[in-house]
Structure 1
Amino acid sequence: MKTILHKSETRGHANHGWLDTHHTFSFANYYDPERIHFGMLRVLNDDQIAPGEGFGRHPHDNMEIISIPLYGDLEHKDSMGNHGVITTGEIQVMSAGTGIFHSEFNKNKNKEVALLQIWVFPNKKNVTPRYDQISLADIEKQDELYQILSPNPEDQGVWIYQNAWFHLGDLSEGWHGDYKLKDKSNGVYFFVIEGKVTIAGKELGRRDGLGVYETESVEIATSAKTKLLVMEVPMR
């Protein structure tokens, strides 16, 4: 088993006034040659957007883009004709493929919106762009790692063009269990949204990240109420 620890305070940080953002991996003006990506996981941004502000219309191509709101309401528009709001308890996915334009704005004028924006390299290029957004209300389970993303359109959660699985855990203090990789050649990146947890013998707190690979299973034990994001991705 090999591990890569990224403590919260070591992330890249930029405060643009309208956007306060932390980058686990190199992004925009933050560059660290040791932190370009973890396998096929390219971007993990922790964004806070000021009331009424947001990202204007901009392009993407050949990337799987996943957004997970932590609080607030995010308004989305894109060149595929999608227009809606994504909020806490939902997940949004876009396969940018041959190319899309989209914008994302804080719908509210009186409070911030916070979200995780995640990019994964696809295993198939130049696909027809696609968009999906679902509520997690019917699949979330207390004290379990419940699946929110997979490679299979028929499976639970959203899907992407990559041999990847994402899980969320709303875990009580004192919970312990294992994450068993779906594909033993993959790695898994753990991101602590809130709480305190020991993973593979490493103590992690709020917004810490840990990559684990060359293993088939990873031990997890919480020491406080914890919200945990688990991202299994190919390493090459």
Structure 2
Amino acid sequence: MISIRRSQDRGGANFGWLDSKHSFSFGSYYDPRHMGFSALRVINDDQVAPGGGFATHGHSNMEIISYVLEGEIAHKDSEGNVATLPPGEFQLMSAGSGIRHSEFNPSASKPLHFLQIWIEPNVVDKAPGYQQKAFGREQGLTLAVSPDGEAGSLVIKQDARLYQLLLDADTTAELPASTARKYYVHLISGELAIEGETLEPGDGAKIEGIGNLLMVAQQQAVKALVFDLP
């Protein structure tokens, strides 16, 4: 079964410096039909104005992934991590027993566009952690996050995997799937066909009960994130 959440149906918030689209309930946006999917709790599509950002604030017991699409993130946290994330880079912050951090657009002229993703952990109150890595531009599915660090991926405290999907126009990728697992695809750019459905940028697909997951780029190159969830 596949269920599509169209980009235009997402919730959102606009604070001037931040224009955010919410795939699931978040902040002041609440929809009981969209509270997450399996352990996936948040996908926020955030556009941050030059010089804008999130002042220091706290999190606990959440695995928080940022994926930069345009611009840069300036990150600083209470564990002493100070970093800059350029386009194409993944950041995984394990909030664990508690961490405080800030995220800003350091540019005075260029916008920041990134995806903020929250995944609920399967263990709680562990030591906070920080990881950051780019996974290149290889075509097809590239494992970026896993519970065991497979293939150099970032390590998450959950039985979940996150893949970067890059496809040229008129090409395909296949993920060996299990009917016992759940899958979620968030399309960033291009047009992607899955199980007879076509996704447009910003669309999300909840997928259950499917053996192999075949993804077909249409007439445009595709960039997407693919989640393998318990």
- State the TM-score bracket (shorter-chain normalisation): over 0.9
Alignment check: 8 A CA contact 2:135 2:142 kept: no
Name the SS of the counterpart of 2:96 in structure 1. coil
The Cα of 1:218 is off from its aligned counterpart by 1.4
Partners of 1:172 and 1:225 within 8 A in 2: yes
- After superposition, the Cα gap between the structure-2 partners of 1:134 and 1:177, relative to the gap in structure 1 and judged at 3 Å, is closer
Post-superposition offset of 1:184: 4.3
SS in 2 for 1:52: coil
Q: CA deviation at 1:219?
A: 1.8
Q: Distance in 1 between matches of 2:107 and 2:193?
A: 36
Offset of residue 222 of structure 1? 1.3
Partner of 1:218: 213
The runs of 4+ residues in structure 1 deviating greater than 2 Å are 153-156
Q: Secondary structure at the match of 2:223?
A: strand
2:11: which partner in 1? 12
Structure-2 separation of matches of 1:30 and 1:208: 18
Gapped runs of 5+ residues in structure 1? none
Question: Residue 141 of structure 1 aligns with which residue?
Answer: 138
CA distance in 2 between partners of 1:160 and 1:99 (Å)? 16
Aligned-pair CA distance for 1:216: 2.5
SS in 2 for 1:9: helix
The code of the aligned residue for 2:210 comes to: T
- Deviation of residue 128 (structure 1)? 0.5
Name 2:148's counterpart in structure 1. 152
Q: Distance in 1 between matches of 2:173 and 2:131?
A: 31
> In 2, Cα distance between the equivalents of 1:160 and 1:36?
21
Q: 1-side partners of 2:98 and 2:211: how far apart? A: 36
- Structure 1 letter corresponding to 2:170: G
% identical equivalent positions: 40
Q: Quote the residue 1:73 is aligned against.
A: 72
Equivalences for residues 32-181 of structure 1 within 5 A: 32-137=31-136, 140-142=137-139, 144-153=140-149, 155-181=151-177
Give the drift of 1:89. Answer: 2.0
Q: Deviation per CA, 1:192-222, whole angstroms, max 9, x where unpaired?
A: 1000011121111111110101223112111
Aligned-residue RMSD, C-alpha? 1.1
TM-score (norm 2): 0.96
Q: Which residue pairs with 1:232 in the alignment?
A: 228
1:165–1:231 contact (8 Å) kept in structure 2 = yes
Gaps of 5+ in 2: none
How far is 1:154 from its partner? 5.0
Distance 2:124 2:72 in 1: 31
Per-residue deviation, residues 18-69 of structure 1 (Å, max 9, x unmatched) = 0000000000011100000011000000000010110000010000000000
Distance 1:124 1:8 in 2: 32
- State how many pairs are aligned: 229
Structure 1 residues 3 and 154 mapped into 2: Cα distance closer, same or farther (>3 Å)? Answer: closer
2:195 equivalent among 194, 200, 203:
200
